[in-house]
Amino acid sequence: MTDAHPSGDKRFKLLDASMKRYQFQPDALIEVLHKAQDLFGHLDHDLLLYIARNLKLPPSRVYGVATFYHLFSFTPKGEHTCLLCLGTACYVKGAAKLQATLEKQWDLKLGDTRSDGKMSLLGARCVGACGLAPVAVLDGKVSGNLNPEALLQLVKGWDGDGTR
């Protein structure tokens, strides 16, 4: 039996269903964390505690696992996300220039979300689209063969008018 979350948020129901499918096995922790992040966008402390209680795991174990893996995030993401591929092929083809361009344009560092919550700039080890290097994933859509100008053109509008 799960203890329903007091907030009454419907997303917890979906999370409960997912945990039930894994019969609340502690082994399923990573799958459950994936599901939770899908539903909520990020993992906050309350959510991690909720998972710990339901899988009957110490909170330290849940927190330890969640923080070990790069794909889990603990802060809300921006409205838009730009995921830059920083793999070797993209690196050789100038991914660093793309990174520098966006960091300057948006005035934030790789891995951060801008304070107004408009956009997040993230890095990936390799998205596996090396034939199209350098690659960025803009709001889930892969764009390849980029240069700084082309990239700026693609994210124009994320800011409202394309400038800060």
Interface residues with another protein (CB under 8 A) are 25-31, 33-34, 61, 64-65, 68-72, 86-89, 91-93, 124-133, 135, 141-144
Q: Which is nearer to another protein, 14 or 30 (CB)?
A: 30
Q: Which is nearer to another protein, 135 or 151 (CB)?
A: 135
User: What b/e sequence results for 1-39 when a residue is b if at least 16 CB atoms lie within 10 Å of its CB, and e otherwise?
Assistant: eeeebeeeeebbeebbebbeeeebeeebbeebbebbbeb
Largest CA distance in the chain: 55
Min dist. Cβ of residue 94 to another protein (A): 9
Min dist. Cβ of residue 6 to another protein (A): 26
Handedness of CA 141, 143, 148, 153 (dihedral sign): negative
Min dist. Cβ of residue 48 to another protein (A): 14
* CA distance linking residue 109 with residue 120, whole number of Å: 9
Q: Which is nearer to another protein, 42 or 70 (CB)?
A: 70
Report which DSSP code applies to 158: T
Min dist. Cβ of residue 74 to another protein (A): 13
